[in-house]
Structure 1
Amino acid sequence: LQRLLLKSYYARLLAVRRVTQDNQGKKTAGMDGVIAISPKQRFTLVEEIKGNFKAKPLRRVWIPKPGRDEKRPLGIPTIRDRAKQALVKMA
């Protein structure tokens, strides 16, 4: 069932939709700097997430801890990596 979902075109469409339209952090850019994508770019992203699951480097941002002066690291993946993660999570 997992293999079927990972190869499904409609599951990839749903994963890209969740990342680029439904997600609250959709306007957060990763290492590649891509913020919002057009409908045509979404269809090309669906074709790109097929197969290879090698991730790109993360963008590291330091955010403050609540109530303290310390900061903690936060890794922000690219949109392509977020779509791959959503597809694997669905499977």
Structure 2
Amino acid sequence: RIYQAAQSGQDAKARRLQRLLLKSYYARLLAVRRVTQDNQGKKTAGVDGMIAISPKQRFELVEEIKRNFKAKPLRRVWIPKPGRDEKRPLGIPTIRDRA
């Protein structure tokens, strides 16, 4: 619905739907699940070093997301470009920032 509202030029409706999504408890639960369990990069730590978290820590993360926070800096990793000797930068955010 957010995409459809944005494409049809209904900016106020799109913002209202975005705000509704951000306030939704179940949307936060789903975001934490995707980042910590379903995501392919779930074992990649950010600058905080946190990788696998327990179910209790996941619920604490859901409550943290509710509050406004400032994102932590990205962990910079240089990965090789395919077919070349050059490397490109890759920024890895923390689990909280991903969610």
Q: TM class, shorter-chain normalised?
A: 0.7 to 0.9
Root-mean-square deviation (CA), in Å? 1.5
TM, length-normalised to structure 1: 0.87
Where structure 1 has 5 or more consecutive residues not aligned to the other structure, the ranges are: 83-90
Q: Deviations over 1:5-58 (max 9, x none)?
A: 101111100000000000000000000000000000000000001131421000
User: What TM-score comes out, normalization by structure 2 length?
Assistant: 0.80
Offset of residue 70 of structure 1: 0.4
Structure with the greater alpha carbon radius of gyration: 2
Aligned partners of 1:67 and 1:53: how far apart in 2?
A: 40
Q: Secondary structure at the match of 1:61?
A: strand
User: 2:66 aligns to what SS in structure 1?
Assistant: coil
Decide which of 11, 15, 18 is 2:27's aligned counterpart: 11
SS of aligned partner of 1:49:
helix
* Structure 1 CA distance for aligned equivalents of residues 26 and 69 of structure 2: 18
- In structure 1, C-alpha distance between the alignment counterparts of 2:94 and 2:22, rounded to whole Å: 19
Following TM superposition, the consecutive aligned residue runs of length 4 or more in structure 1 with deviations greater than 4 angstroms are none
Task: Give the total of aligned pairs.
Answer: 83
Counterpart Cα distance in 2 of 1:53 and 1:12: 15
- Structure possessing the higher relative contact order (Cα contacts under 8 Å, 6 or more residues apart): 1
Cα distance in structure 2, aligned partners of 1:31 and 1:38:
19
Partner residue, 1:31: 47
